Structure 1
Amino acid sequence: MAMKQLDTILKFEQDKEQRCADQLKLAEHEYQQNISRLQGVADYRLEYMKRLSQRAQQGLDSATYSHYHAFIAKLDGASAQVEIAMRQAKALAEQSKSIWLKQRQKVKAVELLREKRLKLIAVAEEKTEQKMFDEIATQQYLRRPNR
């Protein structure tokens, strides 16, 4: 395989690796956002529960209690949805990481193949150069006047 072909393949695989890395970053960012959302909903629920507790100490009618209870149930539902989204985002991030690692292995393999090819070319050039120097030395020896 010619060096130009290896360079082309290497460039293609590196570009593909970069796209995989970008996809991984995006998936990890989405996962982190869902963790933050889940924490935000949990914090808000806790704050709302504290308000309910304070209001209950002052006295609370049943309609207001029902309102608080219904809203807390909605927060629990939102928390469950965010948790599902978080698990899906985590799975996507793990899948993206696996794809990126496989692509990274391909890039490393092509780089190794390219390095081996460069070494073979260097050895061949050295042999050619040595052959040329040997030929020059032989010609100089043959052209020397006899002493």
Structure 2
Amino acid sequence: MAMKQLDTILKYEQDNEQRCADQLKVAENEYQQNVNRLQGVADYRLEYMKRLSQRAEQGLDSATYSHYHAFIAKLDTASAQVELAMRQAKALVEQSKNIWLKQRQKVKAVELLRDKRLKKIAVAEDKAEQKMFDEIATQQYIRRPSR
């Protein structure tokens, strides 16, 4: 395989690796956003529960209590939805990471093949150069006047 072809393949695989790395970053960011959302919902729920507790100490009517209770149920539902989204995002992170690692292996394989090819070319060039020097030395020896 010619060096130009190996260089083209290497560039293609490196570009694919970069796309995979970018997708992994996007997936990791989405996962982190879901973690932050879940924490935000949990914090808000805790704050709302504190308010309910404070209002209950002062006394509240059943309609207000029902309002608080319904809103807390909505927060619980939102929390469950965000948790599901977080698990899905985590699975996507793992999948993206595996894809990136496989692509990284491809890049390393092509780099190794390219390096071997470069070494082979260098050895061939060294042999050709040595052959040329040997030929020059032989010609000089033959042309040297006899004593």
Deviation, 1:139, is 0.2
- 1:83-140 deviation line (CA, Å, top 9, x unaligned): 0000000000000000000000000000000000000000000000000000000000
Correspondence for 2:31: 31
Correspondence for 1:123: 123
- 2:18 is the counterpart of 1:18: yes
TM-score by length of structure 1 reads 1.00
The DSSP-based 3-state class of the residue aligned with 1:119 is helix
Q: How many aligned positions are there?
A: 147
- The 2-side partners of 1:102 and 1:42 are apart by 37
Deviation, 1:5, is 0.3
Correspondence for 2:143: 143
TM-score by length of structure 2 reads 1.00
Superposition RMSD in Å: 0.2
Correspondence for 1:107: 107
- The 2-side partners of 1:144 and 1:59 are apart by 120
Correspondence for 1:48: 48
The DSSP-based 3-state class of the residue aligned with 1:28 is helix
- The 2-side partners of 1:113 and 1:100 are apart by 20
- 2:38 is the counterpart of 1:61: no
Correspondence for 1:88: 88
Deviation, 1:32, is 0.2
- The 2-side partners of 1:142 and 1:82 are apart by 88
Long gaps (5+) in structure 1: none
- The 2-side partners of 1:86 and 1:60 are apart by 36
Runs in 1 of length 4+ with deviation above 6 angstroms?
A: none
Deviation, 1:79, is 0.2
Deviation, 1:30, is 0.1
Residue identity opposite 1:141 in structure 2? Y
- The 2-side partners of 1:124 and 1:141 are apart by 25
